[in-house]
Chains A and B, each alone.
Chain A
Amino acid sequence: MTEMIATRDAYGQTLVELGRENARVVVLDADLSGSTKTGAFAKAYPERFFNAGIAEANMVGMAAGLAAGGMIPFASTFAVFAAGRAFEQIRQSLAYPRMNVKIVATHGGITVGEDGGSHQSVEDLAIMRALPGMTVLCPADGPETVAAIRAVAQFQGPVYVRLGRNKVATVFPATAEYAIGRGQVLRPGSDLTFVTTGLMTAMALTAAAILQEEKISARVLHLGTIKPLDRELVLQAARETGALVTAEEHSIIGGLGGAVCETVAEGCPVPVERVGLRDVFGQSGTADELLTYYGLTPAHLVEAAERVLKRK
C-alpha cells in the first residue's frame, strides 16, 4: 500500500525545519494557518509568524516589505485567494520587482471538495505562469513537496507553489533528486507520453500499467515545475513517442496543457490530448466524486491515450 500524505502537511513540517535552520525565514498567513499548516511554524517561532487576518492583499504586500528588509517570507492562503484576490499585489509588489517571496498556496484544484466552486482554483497555474519571471511549482506528493519547499528557500526570486488539501499517493522516494525546472521520467514508454503534474502523476502511473496489459507502452513524464518548463524532456517525449496526453487538476487553458502545447507546437508538433477541466468551474462534492465527474481518473487517462494514438 502506497503511503498517503497531504502536500500541505509536508509543507507545514518542512517550514518548521527551515525555521530552525534559518533565522531569516518568516511566515505569513491570512487566517487559514490551521488549513494551510503554517500553524506549526507559528507555534514554534511566534515572533517570525505574521497573521494578516482576512486580508490577502496586505499579506502579500507585507511579505514584499519583509523580503526588501532581507527576510525570506513564505506567504500562504488558499490558491483561489492567492492567485485571485491578491493577483495584482503578486504582480506589482513581488513579480515586477523580482522580490524574494514564496507564495505557497494550498487547496488548489477541485479536490477541495465540499466547499464548492467558489473555493476550487482551476485557473491559478495559468494566471501565475503568465507573470514574467515567475517560477511555478506543482509537486506530485509529500516527498516532492519537502524537496520543493527546501529548494525554493534557497532560490532567489518570487515563486508560486501549488499544494492540495487531501492526502495523495506517494510516487517519489524521499531520496529522489530534485531541482526546480527539471522534469522526471517516472516510467519509460515508447507509444505515447503522459505529461502530468500534481496529483495526476500518480493516476498516470496507474493508467500506464493498465495500458501495458493492452500492449501499449506509455511513458510517464512528471513536471513538478510548470515554469520554467523542462522543454528538453517534453520535446524528447514528443520526438520519441510521437503523441502526448497532458493531465492536470486545473483548466486545460493556460496551465500545464497549454504550456506543453506551446512547446511542442514550436519544437516538435505531435498530437496532444489535454485532460483537465474543460473551461468550467467546479462544484460541491467529495474529492473522488469530483475527479470522476470532471474526467480526472486513470480510466479517463486511458481513454485519452487511445484517442491520441488514433491521431498519430
Chain B
Amino acid sequence: MLNDQTVAELETIARRLRVEILKMLNSARSGHTGGSLSAIDVLTVLYFHQLCHDPENPAWAERDRFVLSKGHAAPALYACLAEAGYFSRDELKTLRRLGSSLQGHPDMNKTPGVDVCTGSLGQGLSQAVGLALAARLKSDKSRVYVLLGDGELQEGQVWEGAMAAAHYRLDNLCAIVDQNGLQIDGEVEKVMGVAPVGPKFLAFNWHVLEVDGHDVRAISRALDEAGKFAGRPTLIVARTVKGKGVPFFEHKASYHGVPPSDDELGRALEHLGHS
C-alpha cells in the first residue's frame, strides 16, 4: 500500500513525464500523443515503484522485464527511461530523427532499457510469454509486465498469447490493457468491439483486475496483488482517458497519431503548470 508521500511523488513524476512527452513529440513533429498520455501513469508506477531494474546495468539478467506491446506509445517509455537514468534527457529531443537511438517504435538494439522490439501490434504478449517461460526455466524471480492497447486486442495473436500464458500457468506474467476506448479510426467499440475485456480474459483462465488507470495508488495495489497471485497470469484492465492531462486532447481519436503544435504545446504546458 502506497503512503501519501509516495503517491504525491509518483504524481509529480507523472506530471513531469507528461511535459517531456509533449515536448518530445512537438520537437519530432510526428508521433503518438493520445496513447502516450493515457499510458503514462501506469508506466510511472511500473518504472518508479514496481519494477526491479538497474539503469546502471540495463543487461542485468535477473531484472524484471517490460514489454510495450502498444509500441506507438514509445514517447511515454522513453520519458520513463530518461527519468530513470538509462540515458540523458537531452536525447529525447532526437526522437524519430535520422541516426537517433530513439526510434519511432521501441528498438532493443538501439535504446538502453528496451527489452524487446515492438511496434507491429499484437506481438508483445507472445514475447512476454517467452520471457516468462525463460525466467521460469532459469528459476529466477524476475517478473514480466506487458502493456497492450485496447484496440490492439483486435489482433488475433493477442488471444493466442493469452491462451499460452494461462496454459503454462505463468503467474510471473502481468498484462495491462490501457483501455482508453479509442483507436485511429474512432471508438474501439464502433470500429471492432472488444468488450467485455475482463470477462474474455477470465474465460481464458486469467486472474483479472480492473482499476482507474490514472490513480497511482490503485495501479500500485493491483500490481502488488498480481505479484501475489499464484497459478495464473494476471490481467489488469486500466481504464484510461486518451490524451489524459491535456483537456483539449482528451477523448479525441484525432490526436492518436498527431503531435502537439507549438501553440498547443504552449497551452498544454501552461495547463500542466510548467512554463
A interface with B by C-beta (< 8 Å):
26, 47-48, 50, 52-53, 55, 57-58, 60-71, 73, 88-89, 91-93, 96-98
A136 CB to closest chain B CB (Å) equals 21
| In contact, B130 and A92 (Cβ under 8 angstroms) | no
Tell me the B125-139 residues at the A interface (CB within 8 Å): 125-135, 137-138
Query: What 4 pairs across the A-B complex have the smallest Cβ distances?
Result: A65-B130, A61-B126, A69-B134, A58-B160
User: In the assembled complex, which residues on chain B have CB atoms less than 8 Å from the CB atom of A60?
Assistant: 126
Among B120, B130, B132, B167, max chain A CB count under 10 A is at B130
Chain B residues positioned under 8 Å from A55 (CB to CB) = 160, 163-164
- Of A53, A57, A64, A98, which one neighbours B130 at CB under 8 angstroms? A64
Whether A52 pairs with B164 at a CB distance below 8 angstroms is yes
Chain B, residues 119-157, CB within 8 Å of chain A (1/0): the string is 110010111111111110110000000000000000011
CB of A100, distance to nearest CB on chain B (Å): 12
Quick check: A61 and B127 within 8 Å, CB to CB?
yes
Contact B117 A93, beta carbon cutoff 8 Å: yes
Which of B129, B138, B167 has most A Cβ within 10 Å? B129
Contact A48 B126 (CB under 8 A): no
* B116 close to A (CB within 8 Å): yes
Minimum distance in angstroms from B129 CB to a CB of chain A: 5
A177 to chain B, nearest CB (A): 32
For B115, the chain A residues whose CB sits under 8 A away are 68
A69–B138 touching, CB < 8 Å? yes
Contacts A70-B138, A88-B120 given; indicate if A65 touches B157 (C-beta within 8 A). Answer: no
Which chain A residue lies CB-closest to B164? A58
Assess the B117–A62 pair: CB atoms within 8 A. Answer: no
- B-chain residues with CB within 8 Å of residue A58 when the two chains form the complex: 126, 129, 157, 160-161, 163-164
* Contact for B129 among A65, A67, A98, CB less than 8 A: A65
Which of the residues A47, A52, A64, A96 comes within 8 Å of B127, measured between beta carbons? A64
Is B109 interfacial (CB 8 A cutoff)? yes
Report which of A26, A52, A65, A91 forms a contact with B116, defined as CB distance below 8 A: A65
For the complex, is B108 an interface residue (Cβ under 8 Å from A)? yes
B: which residues have CB within 8 A of A? 61, 65, 107-109, 115-120, 123, 125-135, 137-138, 156-157, 160-161, 163-164, 167-168
Tell me if B116 and A68 are in contact (CB < 8 A): yes
**Smallest beta-carbon distance A25→chain B, Å:** 11
Count of A-B contacts judged by CB separation below 8 Å: 106
A-B contact pairs, 16 of them (CB 8 A): A48-B137, A50-B133, A53-B160, A58-B161, A60-B126, A61-B127, A62-B127, A62-B161, A65-B131, A68-B130, A68-B134, A69-B65, A69-B135, A92-B123, A97-B109, A97-B117
CA distance A211 to B116 in the complex (A): 54
Q: Which residues of B contact A71 (CB under 8 A)?
A: 134, 137
Q: How far is the CB of A257 from chain B (nearest CB, A)?
A: 31
Given contacts A65-B126, A68-B65, A70-B61, 14 further A-B contacts (CB under 8 A): A48-B137, A52-B160, A57-B156, A58-B160, A60-B126, A62-B164, A65-B134, A66-B134, A68-B108, A68-B116, A69-B133, A69-B134, A91-B120, A92-B118
Distance from A114 Cβ to chain B, minimum over Cβ atoms (Å): 29
Known A-B contacts A93-B117, A93-B123, A97-B109; A61 and B161 likewise in contact (beta carbons under 8 Å): yes
Residues of B within 8 A of A91 (CB): 120
Contact between A53 and B163 (Cβ–Cβ < 8 Å)? yes
Q: For residue A55, which residue of chain B has the nearest CB?
A: B160
A70 CA to B138 CA, complexed, in Å: 9
- B116 contacts A97, CB within 8 Å? yes
Q: How far is the CB of A193 from chain B (nearest CB, A)?
A: 39
A62 to chain B, nearest CB (A): 4
Identify A65's interface contact among B120, B128, B167, CB under 8 A.
B128
Taking CB atoms, residues of chain B closer than 8 Å to A57 are: 123, 126, 156-157, 160
Chain B residues within an 8 Å CB radius of A50: 133, 168
Query: Given known contacts A53-B163, A58-B164, A68-B108, is B138 in contact with A93 (CB within 8 Å)?
Result: no
A65 touches B164 (CB 8 A): no
Chain A residues, Cβ within 8 Å of B131: 65-66, 68-69
Residue among A53, A62, A89, A97 with most chain B CB within 10 A: A62
CB distance B157 to A89 under 8 Å? yes
Q: Which residues of A contact B61 (CB under 8 A)?
A: 70
Closest to A89 in B: B123
A65 touches B127 (CB 8 A): yes
Assembly CA distance A49 to B142 (angstroms): 21
User: Do residues A67 and B137 form an inter-chain contact, with CB atoms below 8 A?
Assistant: no
**Which residues of the other chain, B, contact A67 by a CB distance below 8 angstroms?**
130
B135 to chain A, nearest CB (A): 6
Residues in A neighbouring B161, C-beta threshold 8 A:
58, 61-62
Give bound CA distance, A68 to B126, whole Å: 12
Q: Which residues of A contact B108 (CB under 8 A)?
A: 68, 97
Residues of chain B with a CB closer than 8 A to A93's CB: 116-117, 123, 126-127
Q: With CB as the reference atom, state the residue of chain B lying closest to A53.
A: B163
A57: nearest residue on chain B (CB-CB)? B157
